[in-house]
Structure 1
Amino acid sequence: MAVSRYDQRKNFEEEEANAIGTQYLRAELLGESRATTIKALLRDYVQLRIEYYKTREPRELEIINAKTAELQSQLWTGVREPAIAQPTPIAALTVSGMNDVINTQSYTQAAWVNRIPVSAWTLMIAIAFFSNLMQGYGARGATGRRVLLFVLPITVSLSLSLIADIDSPRGGLIRVVPQNIISLQQSLPAS
């Protein structure tokens, strides 16, 4: 479960970068003045998304989420107004693209909140406990096998630690690095 969720978080990061990059290009379809505004907002949005992936602080995360919601509102207004004023297929394309940008952010956040359920953790811990108990019971009295008593507990502990680390997107050593969004940021012109 943990590995599939980690992969899912990585895939959503890639989809998010693709959606933002595509919308950045589609912004040019709105005309030069509006495109400049949308592109500047998207550059700020990319920076916020990178901060979202890198932060570990809950308070900082709240601030990033509030800023992200505000930017999304500005971005939506930026494509909605021309679509209402002149409903054309091109305007619909830019609205659809902005919808993809906003949706992929929601999918990413949902994947980061989705964790291994407590009942699954309880089951894994119970299996580990009883496995160790059975090994200890089976090895009693045998002097040479006492060294083996440490193998299962260490193996199970390391396994559970690895699972917990992978399942904690904001903590631990194994984290999703927003490589695609960072690459996108580097490819965007400064202004």
Structure 2
Amino acid sequence: MNAPLFNPWLYSAILFIGLILCVFIGFKLGKRSRAEGGSGALNGAVFGLLGLLLAFSFSGAAERFEHRRALITEEANAIGTAYLRLDLLPSASQLALRQKMQQYLQARLNTYQMIGTDNPGVLANYQHSVQLQQQIWTEAIMAAQHTGNTATLSLISRSLNAMFDITTTRIAATRNHPPLVIDVLLFALSWISALLAGYGMTDHTRIPWLQVFIFSAALTITIFVIRDLEYPRLGFIRVDAADQLLVETLQGLKGS
């Protein structure tokens, strides 16, 4: 899984401090120009645009998060189906293939469970799973051909294809993030909104710091959560719980 371009804590700290500074600068500019509350229509348009961007960003991040969880379920189902269809092969070929499929699932689990750690075994486990894919495919197809049954060959090949294809789909899902310009736009629009909010405080003799801190914290936390959803194995909001399906599937394979 690719890591975020910017450290989320540093990103959030800069955003939070920048929001407070923008409110302060806007307040000073408003007082200096003796603005009378600023343009309500302009402020409303900018705040509305920010709210719309936040809503779409949160919705997209949440949708991608759920999609990644659904892919784990899909992989568990695909492996379970392929494992069951080994019953169609000659008995002499089944034991070795079942053991390799158990090793394959364990390698898949290790690959994703090590993401976000400094363990160098992530790449090694992924490469091991790729090697097992080739071995399982070769042995299973040869065994299916020896049966002389085209239906068996078709069922085995399709189930293995589904089991292997989902790995590519999951890798693509981990790399699927909104373009950098969205992050930059959120950042810039948040600061512009804070600047306009401060500029419109000319009816105050002093900056209401409590409200400013609450506004800045709420906006920062919202953007932090959006970014956290985009990297569900590196932050607080994680898909690790969905891995339990694969763990249970592995236990079922060993138990059978």
TM-score of the pair, normalised by structure 1? 0.91
**Given the alignment, which residue of 173, 179, 189 partners 2:236?**
173
Q: Give the match for residue 53 of structure 1.
A: 112
Larger deviation, residues 17-26 vs 108-117: 108-117
**C-alpha distance in 1, partners of 2:158/2:144?**
11
- The residue type paired with residue 181 of structure 1 is L
Q: Deviation at 1:65?
A: 1.6
The change in CA–CA distance for 1:34 and 1:126 in structure 2 (over 3 A counts) is same
- The residue type paired with residue 17 of structure 1 is A
Asked whether the 8 Å contact 2:201–2:207 carries over to 1, the reply is no
Verify: 1:125 aligned to 2:187, yes or no: yes
Asked whether the 8 Å contact 1:139–1:149 carries over to 2, the reply is no
Runs of 4+ in 1 over 6 A off after TM superposition: none
Q: Residues 84-123 of structure 1 correspond to what in structure 2 (within 5 A)?
A: 84-85=145-146, 86=148, 88-123=150-185
Verify: 1:182 aligned to 2:247, yes or no: yes
**C-alpha distance in 1, partners of 2:68/2:110?**
15
Q: Residues 65-76 of structure 1 correspond to what in structure 2 (within 5 A)?
A: 65-76=126-137
**C-alpha distance in 1, partners of 2:177/2:84?**
35
The change in CA–CA distance for 1:132 and 1:60 in structure 2 (over 3 A counts) is farther
In the alignment, structure 1 segments of 5+ residues that lack a partner are none
In the alignment, structure 2 segments of 5+ residues that lack a partner are 1-59
Q: Give the match for residue 29 of structure 2.
A: none
Per-residue Cα deviation, 1:133-191 (whole angstroms, up to 9, x for no partner): 11122225624733211122111110111111111133111111212111211222257
User: Number of aligned pairs?
Assistant: 191
Asked whether the 8 Å contact 1:53–1:176 carries over to 2, the reply is no
**C-alpha distance in 1, partners of 2:145/2:227?**
48
Verify: 1:78 aligned to 2:143, yes or no: no
Larger deviation, residues 104-113 vs 137-146: 137-146
Q: Secondary structure at the match of 2:254?
A: coil
- Which structure has the bigger radius of gyration? 2
- The residue type paired with residue 8 of structure 1 is H
Percent identical across equivalent pairs?
28
Q: Secondary structure at the match of 2:217?
A: helix
Asked whether the 8 Å contact 1:139–1:146 carries over to 2, the reply is no
**C-alpha distance in 2, partners of 1:131/1:51?**
44
Q: Which has the higher contact order (CA 8 A, sep 6+)?
A: 2
Larger deviation, residues 135-144 vs 145-154: 135-144
**Given the alignment, which residue of 75, 87, 101 partners 1:16?**
75
Per-residue Cα deviation, 1:20-76 (whole angstroms, up to 9, x for no partner): 001110011112121111111111111111112211247332112211110111111
RMSD: 1.8
Q: Deviation at 1:106?
A: 1.1
